[in-house]
Amino acid sequence: MNHAHQVYRARRDAILQTMRGKSGGGLALLPTAPEVPRNRDSLYPFRHDSYFYYLSGFPEPEAVIALVAGPDGDRQLLFCREKDDEREIWDGFRYGPDAAREIFGFDEAHPISALKAKLPEIASDRPALFTPLGLFADWDRQVADLLNEVRGRARTGVSAPEEVVDIRAALDAMRLVKDSHEIGLMRRACAISSDAHRRAMAAARPGALEYEVEAELAHEFLTSGAQALAYSSIVASGPNACVLHYRDNNRQMQSGDLLLIDAGCEYQGYASDITRTFPVNGAFTGPQKAIYDLVLAAQLACIDAVSPGMPFHDYHRTAERVLAQGFIDLGLCEGSLDAVLESGSYKQFYMHRAGHWLGMDVHDAGLYQQRGESVRLTPGMVLTVEPGAYIRPAANVPERFWNIGVRIEDDVLVTPAGVENLTAAAPKSVADVEAACRALRA
């Protein structure tokens, strides 16, 4: 067991403790994600389930963690695929139970084919079953079958768990605050994605296709050791920058366009999520710069606001205030700041939230609000800060602003002292962005 795997074992210990505290013990079962067919015998690339991986670091499909908090102590079990010379010729390496137990720090490991036969005994006489509920339909059926199977053995003197708890609530709370192992991986994910944005600025030019820039991003991600994209890259030029979840990435870019890129890699199971907006020809026009400077001011004000103790929702309010005042100053909204905030007229140009938790999932686990109260930030939380302005053509909008879409998104870590920007290496000031764009033509 190496150092990283001690981290996973410690997380499993913490869950076992939670089970004892909540229900006096019990059984936790966590499956990884199912493999998903793409067509015929082709599968989508396998992506582990984040909860499963958080507790194991085990990368293979067809695996289940079982944690037993019993009267005679704790036991940590893994069910996984067996070694199989024939299958390994076709599909590649598998750990097999023996190596998996040793390397990933479990007490026992068994073939996944033995799961159905072994579980009823493991689940007997446990006060509670902790498992994800409603996450995978097939798993829900297996859980129901298991409970019925144990119940069916009542005459042999055993009882089934009376309580079934969705284990995700406890895991969400743990995942919300990142430990140093996670922060190290997120730093790397953010560094790779920052380089990719710099590369994109250098690569974009009038006449090129959006997907050519998308390919540059993917190139940087994969050659830097990232395993996947954290989400589909948005490469949106000209009017497409005003489409929040633009996906086509197939327009030919024109001189005078802005290019909005929202793209981030996944590195060893951790996401990064960066947006930058820059001029395709390397120089902002006056109206583009006016909107860009406004969004940048809002984004910097939001980052400044992030600190331990701050209610999560506060920085969204900061974004709304700065943007709304800017829209008034530019003649895009009418009335006083209070009136514009009250009426929501600014939402014509800014209609999304200022950010979200970031971690294993791009929109990561964790509550934002509890019993009506915003969650307060604590050191170790990672969130995105991503205000934007999207000016679609409309009768009430001066034509010089039409089709300008700007979003600026960084990933920030809450620290005891305040905040650390994990994506500060991606060019952001007007001068830095224009310089990064010129690098391409050199």
Just list the catalytic residues. Answer: 41, 245, 262, 273, 352, 356, 363, 386, 390, 407, 409
CA dihedral 47, 53, 59, 64 (to 10 degrees): -100
Alpha carbons 283 and 254: distance in angstroms, whole number:
13
Minimum CB distance to ligand GLY, residue 350 (Å): 14
Q: Which is nearer to ligand GLY, 40 or 245 (CB)?
A: 245
Binding-site string for ligand GLY from residue 339 to residue 358, where x marks contact by CB under 6 A and - marks none: -----------------x--
- Sequence-distant (6+) residues with CB within 8 A of 100 are 58, 78, 80, 106, 109
231 interacts with, out of ligand GLY, Mn ion, none, CB within 5 to 8 A per kind: ligand GLY
Q: Which is nearer to ligand GLY, 83 or 353 (CB)?
A: 353
In this structure, is the dihedral angle defined by the CA atoms of residues 232, 233, 236 and 242, taken in order, positive or negative?
positive
Q: Is 386 in the site for ligand GLY (CB under 6 A)?
A: yes
Stretch that binds Mn ion, among 220-228, 343-351, 370-378, 401-409 (CB under 5 A): 401-409
Alpha carbons 96 and 253: distance in angstroms, whole number:
50
Q: Which is nearer to ligand GLY, 266 or 273 (CB)?
A: 273
Alpha carbons 93 and 85: distance in angstroms, whole number:
9
Binding-site string for ligand GLY from residue 125 to residue 144, where x marks contact by CB under 6 A and - marks none: --------------------
- Is residue 418 classed exposed, middle or buried when 0-12, 13-18 and 19+ CB atoms within 10 A define those classes? middle
Q: Is 411 in the site for Mn ion (CB under 5 A)?
A: no
Q: Is 273 in the site for Mn ion (CB under 5 A)?
A: yes
Alpha carbon 419 to its chain centroid, in Å, reads 19
Rg (CA), the chain: 25
Count CB neighbours of 341 within 10 A: 17
Q: Which is nearer to ligand GLY, 60 or 386 (CB)?
A: 386
Alpha carbons 381 and 366: distance in angstroms, whole number:
10
Q: Is 384 in the site for Mn ion (CB under 5 A)?
A: yes
Please identify which residue in the block is written with the tokens 């229900």. Answer: 23
Minimum CB distance to ligand GLY, residue 231 (Å): 5
Binding-site string for Mn ion from residue 233 to residue 262, where x marks contact by CB under 5 A and - marks none: -----------------------------x
Do 441 and 205 form a contact (C-beta atoms < 8 A)? yes
Quick one: tokens of 405?
A: 């879409």
Minimum CB distance to ligand GLY, residue 92 (Å): 31
| Subset of residues 225 to 264 that bind ligand GLY, contact rule: CB under 6 A | 231, 262
Q: Which is nearer to ligand GLY, 27 or 274 (CB)?
A: 274
Q: Is 211 in the site for ligand GLY (CB under 6 A)?
A: no
| Residue from 362, 365, 413, 414 in contact with ligand GLY (CB under 6 A) | 362
Supply φ then ψ for residue 73, to 5 degrees: 115, -175
Q: Which is nearer to Mn ion, 94 or 197 (CB)?
A: 197
**Apex CA 237: angle with CA 236 and CA 243, to 5°?**
50
Alpha carbons 125 and 72: distance in angstroms, whole number:
13
Residues in touch with Mn ion (CB under 5 A): 262, 273, 384, 409
Residues in touch with ligand GLY (CB under 6 A): 231, 262, 273, 356, 362, 386, 409
